Amino acid sequence: MKKKLFTLVLTALLALPVYADTLFLMKPVVKEIDKSDADKITSAIESAVTSNYKTITYRDLPKGKINKLGKCGMKAECWVEKAEDEDFQYVLLSLVAMNEDEEIKVRFVLISLEDEDVVEDNSKVYDDVDSVSEKRVTSQIKKVLASVAGSLKGKKNSELEKRMKKEEEREAREEAARKKKLEEERKKREAELERQKREEERLEKERKRKQKLQEERQRKAEEAELARLEKERERREAEKKKERASKKQSLKNNSEKLERGRELVLEMCAQGKYNAAIKAIVKVSETKCECEEDAKVLALKTQLLNFNKVREQILKGVEVKDASLILDNIEAAKALDESIVPGGTEFSQKVDKYASVGYLARGREMEKADKYIEANEAYEKCLEIDPDKTECSEWIDQKDKVVKKIYDKAAVMKNFNPTKAKELLRSILKLVTAENDYYKKAEADLQQLEY
């Protein structure tokens, strides 16, 4: 049966025109659209073209070849020259862009390699991303390819379709007979399973009867053992009573030791002697009183160890000028310091100085990464915390030199990395006011790049 169906399909393929023209679908160009929305629209375009026309897509060609063809743009003569060895006669280019009203413009350009010219150029505006469905895109593409659609599609063999339909009907009848046989076998299996179930229920009933007798014998033996154990328990309880009285007195003494030790550790903390305090609390925590003081000592020990970790991170960050090590730990260190000693110790009084160093380091990191807006925010935060920080004030005061540096860098990148150039130009618009000369230059360059 499968062999016959394969023969019919092969016959159908041979019945199609051998020399039907082929359409090459270039990768759609998208602008100002989120990646997920762009992927959705691109998928709709690809599906609309490949499901209706004889097509080769950009996915079928090597990446190097695609990059080479991509430089042709709408230049028909370039396509004729660079695609002369390719097996397609038409090229479909597409552009998807979002305007300020979040409307979607979809543009299709059809190039004929034979005519060496653009034969169709069609644009359509959709209300939003969700409006760009495969159905609506198909309708637009059909209008673009109307004049050449016949050469891109093969003709169907109606007689072959009838024969294939009969073959499908015959297979359906055979499938129905197979399902009927399977249903009869299922009913037999269900009857056998029901018989097995009744037998299992009988065996389970017998098992429970025997289990009940066994449990009764075991209950009597346990009662006798419990009576013996109770006498033994009473004897041991008397001995433990004496031990508890002795232990209670010992724990009371430990409670007083713990309280004195904790107070001594807090005094060390207030004096900023954290290393000595940590050693002392570790020693104090070895004593146990099985009372509330145990929890207080454990809590203080945990606070001190946690505080010491973040404090060391901050001091290390200050030493190596690492913004993350400083700023990620500032608030935690301050909160822990104040929770240990109300009002904080001398460390809390130095936190702002550490923070200003962190924001200075953050500003320099952002500046090196060409993230000038974030750098400006970091330098401003640095000055807000420490107005005497000259490294930060110099950067803010020399804003004109900074924007000139950014503008010069953007000018260099315009030709080989326009995306980076636009990012730099936008940062200028946020760093200075509209009255600034570089603001006006950046605004003009942006309009030119986005056009």
The count of other CB atoms within 10 Å of the CB of residue 259 is: 17
Look at residues 406, 392, 403 and name the one whose alpha carbon lies nearest to residue 432: 403
pLDDT in tens, the chain (451 residues): 444 444 444 444 444 444 578 888 988 989 888 888 888 888 888 888 888 888 999 888 888 888 888 888 888 889 888 888 888 889 989 999 988 878 898 999 999 888 888 888 888 888 888 888 888 888 888 888 887 877 786 434 444 455 667 777 887 888 888 888 898 899 899 999 988 988 898 899 889 888 988 988 898 888 888 888 988 888 888 888 887 877 777 777 777 777 777 777 777 777 777 777 777 777 777 777 777 777 877 877 787 788 788 888 888 888 888 888 888 888 887 777 777 777 666 677 777 888 888 999 999 999 999 999 999 999 999 999 889 888 898 888 888 888 999 999 988 888 889 999 899 989 989 988 888 888 999 899 888 887 6
Identify the pLDDT of residue 162: 59
Q: Report the C-alpha gap between 379 and 396 in whole angstroms.
A: 7
Torsion angles phi and psi, residue 66, rounded to 5: -60, -45
Look at residues 85, 79, 94, 19 and name the one whose alpha carbon lies nearest to residue 54: 19
DSSP 285: T
Left, alpha or beta for 110 (phi > 0: left; psi -120 to 50: alpha)? beta
Identify the pLDDT of residue 115: 84
Identify the pLDDT of residue 377: 93
Identify the pLDDT of residue 2: 42
Torsion angles phi and psi, residue 276, rounded to 5: -65, -35
**How many angstroms from the chain centroid is the CA of residue 138?**
33
CATH 1.25.40 matches 317-450:
yes
Identify the pLDDT of residue 161: 52
What stretch of H or E contains 200? helix 158-270
Q: Report the C-alpha gap between 130 and 142 in whole angstroms.
A: 20
Identify the pLDDT of residue 163: 60
C-alpha distances in angstroms, 6 versus 12, 174, 224? 10, 18, 83
Q: Would you kindly state where each structural domain of the chain is located, as residue ranges?
A: 17-152, 317-450
* Domain 17-152 fold: Rossmann fold (3.40.50)
Q: What does the block give as tokens for 257?
A: 């030791």
Asked whether the domain spanning 317-450 has the same topology as the one spanning 17-152, the reply is no
Identify the pLDDT of residue 164: 60
Look at residues 112, 108, 117, 115 and name the one whose alpha carbon lies nearest to residue 142: 108
Amino acid present at 8: L
Q: What does the block give as tokens for 431?
A: 């760093």
C-alpha distances in angstroms, 155 versus 161, 366, 398? 12, 62, 72
Q: Report the C-alpha gap between 349 and 326 in whole angstroms.
A: 15
C-alpha distances in angstroms, 266 versus 297, 378, 414? 11, 36, 62
Q: What does the block give as tokens for 214?
A: 């066994």
Identify the pLDDT of residue 366: 92
